Copies of this chain bind each other. A is one copy, B any other.
């Protein structure tokens, strides 16, 4: 019911902010996130579920993978500002995006 409060609680953890920053780029599976952020599988999964419960992200199963993507609606548009105007000015989040691209490139190469 107190949707905004749930959203704000979900935003009050650095790992979840880093995950959201990645999902602002594109839909990703759990393993993309653990590889990019270099965190454990359990940690990635736990935080993604927390974000899902807060209705900030949604998931979609395909084969053995679970893909997560943003589920940000009108009511929480301030998160756009948080990500674009604040987080992405910080080195940590910039590096995460770089690492994401590197990882996705490596991943694609292995499939050719």
Minimum CB–CB distance for A47 against chain B, Å:
14
Given contacts A75-B86, A77-B85, contact A12 B8 (CB under 8 A): yes
Contact with B along A13-57 (1 / 0, CB 8 A): 010010000000000000000000000000000000000000000
Copies of this chain held together in the complex: 2
Does any Cβ of B come within 8 Å of A4's Cβ? yes
Question: Which of B4, B12, B86 interacts with A78 by CB under 8 Å?
Answer: B86
A11 and B14 contacting across the interface, CB-CB below 8 Å: no
10 A-B pairs besides A8-B8, A77-B81 with CB distance below 8 A are: A4-B82, A4-B86, A8-B11, A8-B12, A8-B17, A9-B12, A75-B86, A78-B78, A78-B79, A78-B82
